Amino acid sequence: MDKLHSLIKEYKANKFDILLSGHTDTVGNKSYNADLSKERGEAIKAYLLKEGIAKENIKTSFFGEIRTVSSDQFYNRRVEVYKHQNVNSFASYQEFINHITPKKEIFVIPVTQPIRIEGRKGTLITIPQNAFQYKDGKSVTGNVKIELTEYYTFSDFISNRLSTIADGNLLTTNGMVNIKAMKDTTEIFLKDTTEIELAFPKSSDERFFTFYGDTLADGRMNWKLDEKLWERKQHDIGVIPSEDGNSLIITDKKTADETNKRIVVAKSENDKDSIIFKRLTTEQYKAYREEQKKNDSLRAGYYSIIQSKQLRWINCDEFIRDPSSTITNYYVTIADNNIRILNVFLIFKRNRALLELSAKPNNIFHINARLPLKAPTELMIIGIKGGQVFAYHDKVELSDGRIDISSLKQTSYSHLEKKLKGLDLTQIQ
């Protein structure tokens, strides 16, 4: 209640919208919980009205049981309250960026059982039991806190300067997340033998892989492929009949030093790994298929699924395969040196890719990377002058090697927000 009172006090000093979302636990049926979440939200709304908050400044939504945050039902019975800043009242560009940046979610989970959590944007994360350890290797017990932030749109990417590039190679993304785990105030980590599974709502039929993000010295993002997970994913699970026809065989990939535990039938082409065949009876296979049916929506193509051995910046990505791609130097120059340029991005909508150019002296910006020269490309520039925001947005031809911009157009934060959100909806005509 102290935080709510502080929000009310802040509102009276500087009016803004307040967003309410009602939630319930999973006890009872869905219809009942939907109504209950609405009642909870309306109760907080009535309290805010009584405290002098204007009706037009209160926005409400109700989710019932579909957005649980913990296996402990106590934490699921809640009303979330958010401050929504008027988009034209920002004192600085950083305040605007904070406004459009996706909000972090917090989930409290027990370590003693496997848990699946779902983010607001639809990411499903499956965490096995007893998955965590302290930095010194000691196992974590009790409840832990998972911090999750999801990034799915170009607006999301730009807010955190999330280029989709891996050491000069352009990536197509199906979504990014930032994950952190805490025990009280101490950061904790996955055990060396543990993986989590991440399912991203599918945006294309590409086969995606796990990339980890590192922030460069100038604030731009670079990604690294998890090569071991990539190699393992090359061998799909398969099913073949046994020689006697009375049983079925599930195939998977294991390293050669595990051959004494399984029946080795064949070697892989590179001869570094073994393809292992595990014999199952028909009844065992039926049980196996029943288990798979629990994840039908995942297997039916609604999600792109990757694994991760780390909790950090994780990108569900694939290298762009475009025949026009070639190592290219591309330059952008801005003639007006009175504008402080904040960001310069190349946007590849068709490829769901974004590149931030690095700054050079005299308002010159540059990228050296493998670029798809024939892919539709847009240039977005954001700058500040005299406390006002300026922007440039247009198509560019990468094959030209450079573009010279005479000036940027003054705009409002409201218009800039619409433009950034529109990147996921429209092409420039």
- Answer yes or no: is 206 within a domain: no
Q: Is the pLDDT of residue 401 over 80?
A: yes
Q: Is the pLDDT of residue 250 over 60?
A: no
- Answer yes or no: is 347 within a domain: yes
Nearest one of 316, 368, 370 to 172, comparing CA atoms: 316
Domain boundary among 249, 275, 295: 295
- Answer yes or no: is 141 within a domain: no
- Answer yes or no: is 376 within a domain: yes
CATH of the domain at 22: 3.30.1330.60
- 94-97, long-range: CB within 8 Å, 24+ apart, which pairs? 96/389, 96/413, 96/416, 96/417, 97/159
More confident residue, 329 or 429: 329
The dihedral built from the CA positions of residue 301, 303, 308 and 313, taken in this order, carries a sign that is positive
Domain residues for the domain of 76 are 1-84
Same domain, 265 and 332: no
Q: How confident is the model at residue 70 (pLDDT cuts 50, 70, 90)?
A: low
Q: Is the pLDDT of residue 270 over 70?
A: no
Quick one: pLDDT at residue 283?
67
Quick one: pLDDT at residue 255?
38
Q: Is the pLDDT of residue 386 over 60?
A: yes
Q: Is the pLDDT of residue 96 over 80?
A: yes
Q: Is the pLDDT of residue 256 over 60?
A: no
Domain boundary among 24, 56, 84: 84
- Answer yes or no: is 314 within a domain: no
DSSP-assigned letter for residue 103? P
CA-to-CA distance for 346 and 367, rounded, in angstroms? 10
Torsion angle of alpha carbons 306, 307, 313, 319, nearest 10°? Answer: -40
Token representation of residue 4: 């709510």
Token representation of residue 220: 């731009």
pLDDT tens digits along 193-217: 999 999 998 777 778 999 999 999 9
CA-to-CA distance for 122 and 213, rounded, in angstroms? 21
DSSP string, 128-160: -TT-EE-TTSPBP-SEEEEEEEEE-SHHHHHHT
Give me the percent of the chain exceeding a pLDDT of 70: 79
More confident residue, 239 or 294: 294
Q: Is the pLDDT of residue 137 over 80?
A: yes
CB contact at 8 A, 395 and 374: no
More confident residue, 90 or 362: 362
Residue keyed to tokens 């002296």: 361
- Answer yes or no: is 404 within a domain: yes
CA-to-CA distance for 91 and 88, rounded, in angstroms? 9
DSSP-assigned letter for residue 183? E
Quick one: pLDDT at residue 200?
92
User: Looking at the 3D structure of the chain, how many domains does it have?
Assistant: 3
DSSP-assigned letter for residue 309? S
Q: Is the pLDDT of residue 326 over 80?
A: yes
- Across 262-412, the runs of DSSP E, i.e. the strands, are 263-267, 273-281, 303-308, 313-319, 325-334, 340-348, 353-356, 358-360, 364-372, 377-385, 388-396, 402-405, 409-411
Quick one: pLDDT at residue 252?
44
Half-sphere exposure of 219 (CA within 13 A, CB side): 11
- Answer yes or no: is 164 within a domain: no
CATH of the domain at 405: 2.60.40
Looking at residue 337, its amino acid is N
Same domain, 332 and 285: no
Does residue 6 sit in helix, strand or coil? helix
- With DSSP H G I counted as helix, E B as strand and the rest as coil, what are the percentages for the chain, rounded to 5? 25, 45, 35
Torsion angle of alpha carbons 369, 175, 199, 134, nearest 10°? Answer: 80
**Residue 300, Cα to own-chain centre: how many angstroms?**
21
Same domain, 417 and 348: yes
Most confident stretch, 7-21, 28-42, 287-301, 384-398: 384-398
**Lowest mean pLDDT: which of 55-64, 78-87, 162-171, 181-190?**
78-87
3-state secondary structure string across 21-83: EEECCCCCCHHHHHHHHHHHHHHHHHHHHHCCCCHHHEEEEECCCCCCCECCHHHHCEEEEEE
Strand arrangement of the beta sheet that strand 353-356 belongs to: 353-356, 340-348, 377-385, 388-396, 409-411
Same domain, 277 and 339: no
pTM for this model (two decimals): 0.71
96, 153, 351, 427 from 160: Cα distances, Å: 12, 11, 19, 23
- Answer yes or no: is 140 within a domain: no
Nearest one of 214, 206, 198 to 163, comparing CA atoms: 214
Q: Is the pLDDT of residue 33 over 60?
A: yes
CB contact at 8 A, 341 and 381: yes
Same domain, 337 and 415: yes
pLDDT tens digits along 151-179: 999 999 999 999 999 999 999 999 999 99
Give me the percent of the chain exceeding a pLDDT of 90: 50
Domain boundary among 26, 60, 84: 84
pLDDT tens digits along 174-196: 999 999 999 999 999 999 999 99
Q: Rounded to the nearest 5 degrees, what angle is found at the Cα of 229, between the Cα atoms of 233 and 216?
A: 135
**Lowest mean pLDDT: which of 247-256, 267-276, 356-365, 410-419?**
267-276
List Cβ neighbours of 208 (8 Å cut-off, separation of 6 or more): 174, 200, 304, 306, 316, 317, 318
